[in-house]
Structure 1
């Protein structure tokens, strides 16, 4: 039944028989047959069928919860047995908000130094995408905000507090300031992250609290693109302090503390809530905790 549950999860995620079959690496008739066999085994209709995929039935929605849990448990069992056989090894799929990629590098470097037989795949994603990918078992863990928007039922390990900097050219009007307030940015030519990024929603809220409505003429989902526009076009942007330091080093740019010194948002590692975690994931959470302690 397990392989049929995997097919069911793929279909629920893709919402299309052909795409789900491609993701599974099987022919579409094989997928369709597998779903029908699963329905026969469970004694209910899971999928609304017509000329195209029509979504899940109410029974299918309930089955989806159990399918995720069963498939997740099966994967965890395989990880436990591999650990017993080979020690800490395997692969970790990690999705990270763009502003935390430097911290992701610290985490993976520290983990890999201690456990060289574990491979990493690191993806840049929005906070909403990270939670969806965790729910759909598409990643093993993520790095995202912990205190700004609901994270749902997940295990968390705080990493750092995100504070903001104004990034501008050395010859910009505000470049000589030791710090700037949000109200000082009124009328500034800004390039910012796209509105689907939680970082941008935080920044917008701070602007609203300052009573200004800045207009970002350039938006991007990449911090590298933002800094490149500051460097080449004389724009200004807002970045977390760690990312600002990383992207401005060796360039004719200034990173100026922005806003109240005590204002910040907590960012950390998020993982599916399971007790116990797989040995690899438990060690990743432990590594994140140690890394946070070093930073404090």
Structure 2
């Protein structure tokens, strides 16, 4: 097996693995497509193997190519960790914290990111709304530094910090008779025109399970893959079942109010999840430190309690 492998070649390879298209991978790397193709071919020549299955377009990786991609993910992750560690020693972290969050945790993510940026003013943050399954995959492939997800779905080989537990409230028009009650049953909520997340989302399955406990089935009028989309579809007739963790950021729309849903079983835990590896990731460690130090559950509960008090006055 020949020659040296350049880190830049591995960067290009990972871009191709992410985009699965030579043109998009080149654009991602801010180079021309011929430049990327030449770099990949040189990497193949230096390693003495075929990495990419080629036809008229990108057709995937060979078996050896898939192994090279896996090693490239590790090598580039270690390079980035080395640079972040040197920055930490110099008292300055400029890395981008890459966080994958399930849609229901996105509204609560500023609690983590605001404090992270306060402690590391030269750093930046990138948030992506992902499924719990995609969070697990991207953590394993070193594509994100941390995930915000349901802890009972935390992937193996990770460590976690619980942030809060989901408490559910019905958000509906203040004129609806149900909003005069202290608590709303799931059967009562099922009679409304509900806006809920799609069935691919864990939150939706939790809602469906609570409905089933009370022996009811319902047909939502709006299904969406983001919390913002649910709020955008609220009208005088339409309602949604929200987590209290959404309210500090999204609040309750004017003309609407929120009432607690009857609780069935333990409340699902949302937490920060990172890879459990040594040496630990500098960025992941900084995020864990933030998650450990701040009490998000208390802040969410305080906001919800104050919102209820304000409504009484």
TM (normalized to structure 2)? 0.83
1:10 aligns with 2:15: yes
Say if 2:112 is the partner of 1:126.
Answer: no
Shift of 1:77: 0.9
Write the deviation string for residues 65-117 of structure 1: whole angstroms up to 9, x where unpaired: 22211111111111111222343443322232232234211122223333323
Give the conservation status (yes or no) of the 8 Å contact 2:26–2:32.
yes
SS of the aligned residue for 2:144 comes to: coil
Given that residues 81 and 282 in structure 2 are in contact (C-alpha distance below 8 angstroms), is that contact kept between their aligned partners in structure 1?
A: no
Q: Give the match for residue 187 of structure 2.
A: 183
Q: How does 1:93-172 map to 2 (within 5 A)?
A: 93-147=98-152, 149=153, 151-172=155-176
1:20-64 CA-to-partner distances (Å, cap 9, x unmatched) read 111111111222222222222322222211122111112222222
Across the aligned residues of Structure 1 and Structure 2, the Cα RMSD in angstroms comes to 2.5
How big is each residue's C-alpha offset from its partner over 1:180-223, in whole Å with a ceiling of 9 and x where there is no partner? 23233333211112333332232233334443321111122332
Deviation at 1:228, TM superposition (A): 3.8
Inter-partner Cα distance in structure 2 for 1:219 and 1:115:
38
Distance 1:281 1:246, change over 3 A: closer
Q: Quickly say closer, same or farther: Cα 1:172–1:248, change in 2 above 3 A.
A: farther
2:198 to 194, 200, 212: 194
What is the aligned counterpart of 2:250 among 241, 247, 250? 247
Stretch deviating more after TM superposition (44-53 or 125-134):
125-134
TM-score by length of 1: 0.88
Contact between 2:198 and 2:223, CA under 8 Å: does it hold in 1? yes
In the alignment, the residues of structure 2 paired with residue 293 and residue 167 of structure 1 have an alpha-carbon distance, to the nearest angstrom, of: 22
Please give the alpha-carbon distance, in whole angstroms, between the structure 2 residues aligned to 1:217 and 1:75.
Answer: 46
Please show how residues 250-289 of structure 1 align to structure 2 within 5 Å: 251-260=254-263, 262-289=265-292
Whether the 8 Å CA contact 1:159–1:292 is kept in 2: the answer is yes
Contact 1:167 1:244 in 2 (8 A): no
Aligned residues: 294
Question: After alignment, is 94-103 or 262-271 more displaced?
Answer: 94-103
**Any stretches of 5+ residues in structure 2 without a counterpart?**
1-5, 300-313
What corresponds to 2:53 in structure 1?
A: 48
Measure the CA separation in 2 of the matches of 1:245 and 1:116.
24
Q: Quick check: 1:48–1:57 contact (8 Å CA) kept in 2?
A: yes
Q: 1:27 to 1:91 in 2, by over 3 A?
A: same
Aligned residue for 2:263, secondary structure, equals coil
